[in-house]
């Protein structure tokens, strides 16, 4: 499978689980209505697990521009593939959240509050303070990328110097750490970040996860939709990229 197609599919899977669990918890008249933050964080973690497990063998399953940029800054991914990966991730996030809209279409009709509907697609802070919100997303993404850089460090080397766990992109070997088993520690890392740091901003920690679905919210038709809150949208895009660069810098330092 093409790495670009794999990134589209992987990010769509992430959003199908992630936006899906949020919709189940907060939209009216669902089976999971009111089941809470623990359910939401587990749903997102399972989205990461399935996406990485299924697509990692084809693209490394970055499913997040912050991961792509962090790996590139750390010298573990070629810069020429960064832009195509990011475009694929945003498209995949748009498609995945659109499938959630389709699955929960009747429940969007039953939910009158525009902010609740937007929350299915994108993040928003509980206390709107842009510097504080930005720093929260930087910290969360820093922990994510720093962990990923060690989990997905380029392959394990055998005694004869051959890479035992790697994928090939454009003729170049790219490390995939534990192979498909990387899915479990990465998913648990995302779970922990959500539980520990998700409260202030909803832990976007992924520009595509927020931007693609926010675009979907803006273009998909449903009643009582309200604003897509573009005034906040720069925070979950810019802050994770800063956090990723800082994590890669510390990784290189050591």
CA angle 12, 18, 20 (to 5 degrees): 95
What does the mean pLDDT of the chain come to? 90
User: What is the C-alpha to C-alpha distance for residues 5 and 9, in angstroms, rounded to an integer?
Assistant: 6
Pairwise pLDDT comparison (228 vs 183), residue with the higher score: 228
pLDDT tier at 60, thresholds 50, 70, 90: confident
Domains and CATH numbers, the chain: 3-253 (1.20.1080.10)
- pLDDT digits 0-9 by tens, 173-215: 555 454 555 688 999 999 999 999 999 999 999 999 999 999 9
Which among 68, 78, 63, 56 is positioned nearest to 171, based on CA atoms? 78
Which among 191, 202, 249 is positioned nearest to 71, based on CA atoms? 249
Q: Is the distance from CB of 27 to CB of 107 less than 8 angstroms?
A: yes
- Please say if the pLDDT value at position 222 is more than 90: no
pLDDT tier at 142, thresholds 50, 70, 90: very high
- pLDDT digits 0-9 by tens, 128-137: 999 999 999 9
Q: What is the pLDDT of residue 102?
A: 97
β-sheet bridge partners, residue 172: 169
- Please say if the pLDDT value at position 154 is more than 60: no
- Please say if the pLDDT value at position 139 is more than 60: yes
Calculate mean pLDDT across residues 44-63: 93
- pLDDT digits 0-9 by tens, 35-47: 999 999 999 999 9
Token look-up 């996030």 returns 93
Q: Is the distance from CB of 210 to CB of 118 less than 8 angstroms?
A: no
Percent share of the chain, pLDDT over 70: 88
Q: What is the pLDDT of residue 150?
A: 83
């Amino acid at each position: 499978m093409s790495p670009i197609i794999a990134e589209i599919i992987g990010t769509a899977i992430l959003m199908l689980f992630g936006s899906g669990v949020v919709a189940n918890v907060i939209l009216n008249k669902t089976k999971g209505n009111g089941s809470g933050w623990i359910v939401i964080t587990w749903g997102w973690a399972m989205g990461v697990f399935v996406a990485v497990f299924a697509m990692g063998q084809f693209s490394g399953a970055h499913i997040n521009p912050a991961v792509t940029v962090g790996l590139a800054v750390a010298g573990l991914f070629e810069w020429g593939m960064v832009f195509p990966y990011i475009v694929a991730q945003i498209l995949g996030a748009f498609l995945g959240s659109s499938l959630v809209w389709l699955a929960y279409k009747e429940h969007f009709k039953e939910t009158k509050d525009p902010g609740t509907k937007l929350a299915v697609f994108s993040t928003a802070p509980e206390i709107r303070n842009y510097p504080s919100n930005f720093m929260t997303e930087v910290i969360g993404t820093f922990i994510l990328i720093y962990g990923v850089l060690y989990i997905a460090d380029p392959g394990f080397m055998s005694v004869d110097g051959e890479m035992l766990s790697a994928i090939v992109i454009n003729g170049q070997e790219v490390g995939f750490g534990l192979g498909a088993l990387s899915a479990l520690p990465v998913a648990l890392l995302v779970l922990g970040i959500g539980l520990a740091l998700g409260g202030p901003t909803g832990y976007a920690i992924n520009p595509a996860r927020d931007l693609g679905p926010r675009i979907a919210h803006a273009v998909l038709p449903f009643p009582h939709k309200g604003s897509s809150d573009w005034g906040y949208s720069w925070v979950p895009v810019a802050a994770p990229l800063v956090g990723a660069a800082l994590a890669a810098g510390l990784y290189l330092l050591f």
